[in-house]
Amino acid sequence: MANALIGTGFQLGKFSFSGLRFLVVTLKYLLFFYVVVVVVVVDVVVVVVVVGVDVVVVVVVVVIDVVVVVSLVVVVVIDVVVVVVVVVVVVDQVVVVVVVVVVVVVVVVVVVAVAVAVAVAVAAAETQLQL
């Protein structure tokens, strides 16, 4: 059952990849780049539309700082989930639950990251306007 869900893995030259490890590592880096690139772009667009171009430079600096922190949190959370998956992968029936938990955790972390970054961008823009 685990192999059907996760894949049996593959071999590339000298290197052999287990399906689970390859999937999780790929997901980890995809999420990292998603958070760094997409969140910054969304924040810049929100600030330009809501506030105007003048504040964008200040907000982008603040947002990049926040995104770096959030990205590190996302990577740490995924690393913890990898440990959980590796520990539980022995029991086939539990793998289904763990895979579902991984997906839910990833979605929640990404949504929270976007929400935090947008909130910080808007707050920074409003603070800049009041000065």
Q: What is the pLDDT of residue 74?
A: 62
The pLDDT of residue 67? 61
Tell me the C-alpha distance between 129 and 123, whole Å: 10
Domain boundary assignment for the chain: 23-130
Residue 37's pLDDT is 63
Please state, in angstroms and rounded to a whole number, the distance separating the CA atoms of residues 43 and 78. Answer: 24
* Per-residue model confidence (pLDDT) at position 8: 47
In this structure, what are the phi and psi dihedrals at residue 18, rounded to the nearest 5 degrees? -75, 145
For position 2, what pLDDT does the model report?
A: 43
pLDDT at 52: 53
- Chain-centroid distance, C-alpha 10: 25
CA distances from 89 to 41, 47, 73, 94 (A): 37, 44, 24, 7
Q: Nearest to residue 43, comparing CAs of 112, 114, 129?
A: 114
pTM (global) more than 0.85: no
Amino acid at 64: I
- Distance separating alpha carbons of residues 21 and 96, to the nearest angstrom: 15
pLDDT of residue 58: 52
**Ranges under pLDDT 70 in the chain:** 1-105, 122-131
